[in-house]
Amino acid sequence: MALDDRKSEFTFVGTRPDRPDGLDKVTGRAKFGADMSAPGMLHGAILRSPHAHARIVKIDASKAEAHKDVKAVVTRADFADVPFKPGLEGEFWNVLENVMAGEKALYDGHAVAAVAATSALAARDALKLIEVEYEVLPHVTDVDKAMAPDAPVIREGAADYSVPEGMHPNVVRYHESGHGDVEAGFAEADLVIEDSFVTEATHQGYIEPHACLGALGGDGKGELWCCTQGHWIVQKTCAALLGIETSQLRVTASEIGGGFGGKTTVFIEPVALALSRKANRPVKIVMSRSEVFRATGPTSSASMDIKIGMKKDGTITAAEGIFRLQGGAFPGAPGDMTAMCAFAPYNLTNVRQVGYDVMANRPKQAAYRAPGAPMGAFAVESVLDELCNQLGLDPVDVRLKNAAHEGTKASYGPTYERIGLVETLEAAKAHPHYSAPLKPGQGRGISCGFWFNHGGETSVSLALSEDGSAQVMVGTPDIGGSRASMALMAAEVLGIPYENIRVTVADTASLGYNDVSHGSRVTYASGLATIKAARHAVEKLCERAAAKWGIPVDAVKWEDGCAVPSGPNAGDFDPIPLADITADMGRTGGPISGHFEATPEGAGVSFGTHIVDAEVDPETGKTSITRYTVIQDAGKAIHPTYVEGQYQGGAAQGIGWALNEEYIYGDDGRLQNSIFLDYRIPVASDLPMIDTVIVEVPNPGHPFGVRGVGETGIVPPLAAIANAVSNAAGVRMRQLPMSPPRILAALKDNG
Amino acid sequence: MVEVHLWSSLRSLTGGCEVVEVEARTTGELLRELVRAHPQLQAPIDAGVSVAIDGRIIATGLSEPIPEGAEVYLMQRLRGG
C-alpha cells in the first residue's frame, strides 16, 4: 500500500464543523470535576495556614476526630515518606510538601490538615475544631527582597548545582546562555537603552475550581475522578504520595473548565484519597475560589533588567537581559525559560541572558501558557519600542530587519529550522489595523513573541465499528478543542465524515501513558498519534481488501475512504468503501483498530506578532483597549475556529495580566485579594473584538504541518499593550499591571 | 566526533569549555559520553536536558540519531503550560 508521509491538500482539515462537546456544554450534561457523586460519599475540607511563614509546633485534631459527623482527619503523617532531594529529583517531595505542609507552613493558604465529614458544611465546621500551634517566622514575598542578604531563608539546601557560590539560599537555580560579545556589540551601537521592569504574579483564572472524587481502599486499589490537564501525572503523583502502585489507581479526567497550565499538577487529589483510605468511603473535595487563589499555582512574579544597543538604521548590535523570577516556596520558577525565550524572535550577533529561580513565601507557582515567556517579552519589547521611538524608526520595520528566520542562530543556541516570524510581521505590516489612524489620546503598540512548543509521551487508539464509524481514544484532556481536531485529522486519513468519528478522553486504565495537556502539545502530538493510528487502521483495511481481491497488499491504496487498486497493473476492481470492509470484519480477520505510541520530537517553535491600540483616560488612569489584532503562525490550522479562539483567549488573558490582574500581599504576607471581586479579570465589556490572522508556515515535524498554538498567543500581549499604553500616555510603563493608580502615578511623575 | 555546544553557565562544570567533543551516534550516547568527559555534567543532565540536533529540539528521547556533522546543542529541558 502507498501512503505519503507529508500532506498539503486537505478535505476535512481546515474546515470548521460544529464542536463535538457543544450540546453537552450548553445543556449542562457535561460532567465537570464537582459533578460526580458516589454512594456513601463524604465531603472533604482543608485547613490552611493563616501565616506566610510559620513552624508548625503542634496539631491537635482530637476534638474534630471526636465529632459525630467527622469520619477522618489527615495530616502530613498520613502520606508517604518521600525523601527530600534538591532539584527536579525532589519534585515529588515538593508536591507533597505543597499538598500538605510538613514542619513549616510556607505561605498563606498552605494546607496543614484535612477532614472528611458527612456534609460539606460539617467538614468546614470541623476545621474549626482542629487546634494548630504555630511559631510565626519572618517572611518575604517580593522577589528582589527574597534575594537580599538579610532575607529569611525559606528552605536550606534547596538550591541545585547551577547556583553560583555566594548567592542567598532562596536562589535555587541559575541559568546563563547566549553568544557573541555583548560589550563589543554595545560599543557599536548608536543608542543603548538600559531599563528595569517588574511584573506581579497573576492567576490562570480558570472558571472551574479544582474538584475531585477519590476512593482508596485498604487493599491499595483506588479510583479518582478529577478536573485535570493530565490524569496520568495525577495517577503517578498520587501513587507516589500515598505509597501505592501506580497501576492500582485508575484516574478519569472530567470535563475541564479551563486550565491554562494551572491544572498540570495535584493539590486536593492526594488529600481526598488519603481521607478516603482512612474513612473507607469515597471523598469529594471542591475548592472555593479563595482556596484556588491562595493555594494553587499563580504565575511567577518577575524583576528584570534589559539592555539593548541599536544602530540608527535599526540593527540591534547587542542585547542583554537579567530575569529574576519568584516561584513561591518551592523551586520551579521558570527563569531559564524566560531567559531563553526573551530574545528568541531576533537574529542577534551578541546576546546574553541570565535567569534566576527564586523562592519566597507564596504559593508554588504553576505553569501558565508559555510559562515565563510573557514577562521577558514585556521587558525586551518595551526597550525595543523605546529604541524605535528615540531613533524615529517604524517598530514593525525594525522587527523585520532583525527578525529570526530559517538559518538564524537562536538566542538560546541552535539554528532555526523553517519558522514563520517574518510572515507574521509582513502580515502585520499589511494589515489595515497597522495603517489605521489613531485618535487623540490613543497609542499603538507592537510586540513579537516566541514559544518552544512540546511533543511528549503520547498514546492513541482508534477502533472501527461495524457500521463504518470510528472511535478514537486519546489521553490528553480537551482544553482547547482537541476532540474536534483529532476527529478532523482521523477523518482526513480514513476518508469518512467528521461526524462519524467520536473522540473520547480515555481513563488511565484504558490507554497507555500520556503526558499532560501542556506545552501546546495536544494538536501536535496527539494529532500526530491520531494520524498514525488511523494510518495503522488503513493498513489493515487495505489488507482486507487485498485478500478479497486476491492481490498483494502493496497493490492496494486508500483513496477517499475506499480501498482501490494502486494502478492499472493491480487489477480492475471496484473501490470498496470503508463501511463495506468493516461490515464483515469479524469474519475476515477480526476487529480493525489502529494504535500509536511514541514521544514525538518535532514540535516546531512558534512565533506571533500583536498589534494593539489603547486609550488612556488622564483623569482616572483607566485604559481602554480599542483595537486588537493577533497574527500567529499555526503551521497548519486543523480547525481554524478553535485556533482563532486560542489567539483571542491569549489576548484576553494578556489584557487582564497587563492592565488589572495581580496578587496583592499585605505586610503580614497574606493575600489581600483572593476573590474575583478583588482580583479583576477582564469581562466581555472590557474587551474589543479581537481580530485574528492565521499564518501557516508548515512544521516539518508534523505530517500535516501543525505547530502548537495554545501558548504563543499570551507571549506578546503584555508588551504590546504596555507599548500602546506608554505611547498613549507619553510615559514608559515599567510595571505590570498598569492599573489606574499606577498610570496616574506615572503621569504625575512625568509632570 | 560530535561537537556539543553547552549553555554558558555549564562552563563552571567543564573547566571553562562551552563546546565539548564526544563520540556519539544517538542522543543517549551523547549524554553518557558527556558525563564520561565531564562527570560534573551528571547534575544538569539529571535535572533535565533536551538536545537540539540541527535546530530540531529533542525534548527527552535517548534514541534519536545524530547525523554526521550535525549541529548539536544541549539545552535545559523545556516546560510548558
A213-258 pLDDT, tens per residue? 999 999 999 999 999 999 999 999 999 999 999 999 999 999 999 9
Q: Which residues of B touch A452 (CB under 8 A)?
A: 57, 78, 80
Contact predicate A90/A101, CB 8 Å: no
What are the extents of the domains in chain A?
22-30+455-598, 35-361, 416-450+604-749
Contact predicate A563/A581, CB 8 Å: yes
The shortest C-alpha distance from B43 to chain A (Å) reads 6
| pLDDT reading at A497 higher than 60 | yes
Contact predicate A665/A672, CB 8 Å: yes
In 3D space, the residue among A34, A70, A323 whose CA is nearest the CA of residue A177 turns out to be A323
**Strands (DSSP E) along chain B, which ranges?**
2-5, 19-22, 49-53, 56-58, 72-76
pLDDT in the model for residue A568: 85
The shortest C-alpha distance from A203 to chain B (Å) reads 13
Residues 431-460 of A with CB under 8 A from B: 452-456
Fold topology of A22-30+455-598: Aldehyde Oxidoreductase; domain 4 (3.30.365)
CA distance readout (Å), A217 to A76, A273, A280: 19, 9, 6
The per-residue pLDDT for range A106-159, each reduced to its tens digit, is 999 999 999 999 999 999 999 999 999 999 999 999 999 999 999 999 999 999
In 3D space, the residue among A505, A27, A509 whose CA is nearest the CA of residue A250 turns out to be A509
Cell of B52: 537540539
The stretch A352-368 carries a mean pLDDT of 98
The CATH number that domain A416-450+604-749 falls under is 3.30.365.10
Contact predicate A124/A46, CB 8 Å: no
Residue of B nearest to A455 (CA): B59
Q: Which residues of A touch B48 (CB under 8 A)?
A: 88
| DSSP reduced 3-state for A175 | strand
Contact predicate A403/A347, CB 8 Å: yes
Residue of A nearest to B42 (CA): A161
A589: left (phi over 0), alpha (psi -120 to 50) or beta: left
Residues 138-157 of A with CB under 8 A from B: none
How many other C-beta atoms are found inside a 10 Å radius of the C-beta of residue A373? 27
Mutate one of B14, B56, B62, B74 to test the A interface: name it (highest A CB count within 10 A). B56
By CB atoms closer than 10 A (0-12, 13-18, 19+), residue A686 is middle
* Complete domains list, chain B, with CATH: 2-76 (3.10.20.30)
- Whether A337 sits inside 8 A of B46 (CB atoms) is no
- Whether B81 sits inside 8 A of A521 (CB atoms) is no
In degrees, rounded to 5, the angle at the alpha carbon of residue A20 between the alpha carbons of residues A15 and A24 is: 150
Cell of A724: 500602546
* CA atoms in the 13 A half-sphere facing the CB of A285: 26
- Predicted TM-score of the model (pTM): 0.97
The per-residue pLDDT for range A636-687, each reduced to its tens digit, is 999 999 999 999 999 999 999 999 999 999 999 999 999 999 999 999 999 9
By Cβ distance, the residue of B56, B59, B76 closest to A417 is: B56
Same fold, A22-30+455-598 and A416-450+604-749: yes
Residues 3-22 of B with CB under 8 A from A: 5, 7-9, 12-13
The shortest C-alpha distance from B23 to chain A (Å) reads 20
By Cβ distance, the residue of B57, B73, B79 closest to A371 is: B79
ipTM, two decimals: 0.96
pLDDT in the model for residue A526: 98
Can you tell me the distance from the alpha carbon of B8 to that of A285, in angstroms, rounded to the nearest whole number? 46
pLDDT in the model for residue A87: 54
Q: Is B39 on the interface with A (CB under 8 A)?
A: no
Contact predicate A558/A7, CB 8 Å: no
In 3D space, the residue among A713, A694, A712 whose CA is nearest the CA of residue A635 turns out to be A694
Residue B79 confidence class, pLDDT cut points 50, 70, 90? confident
Q: Is B78 on the interface with A (CB under 8 A)?
A: yes
| DSSP reduced 3-state for A65 | helix
Q: Which residues of A touch B63 (CB under 8 A)?
A: none
By Cβ distance, the residue of B12, B55, B61 closest to A415 is: B55
Fold topology of A35-361: Aldehyde Oxidoreductase; domain 3 (3.90.1170)
The stretch A487-498 carries a mean pLDDT of 98
Residue of A nearest to B71 (CA): A414
The stretch A327-348 carries a mean pLDDT of 97
In 3D space, the residue among A554, A561, A555 whose CA is nearest the CA of residue A538 turns out to be A561
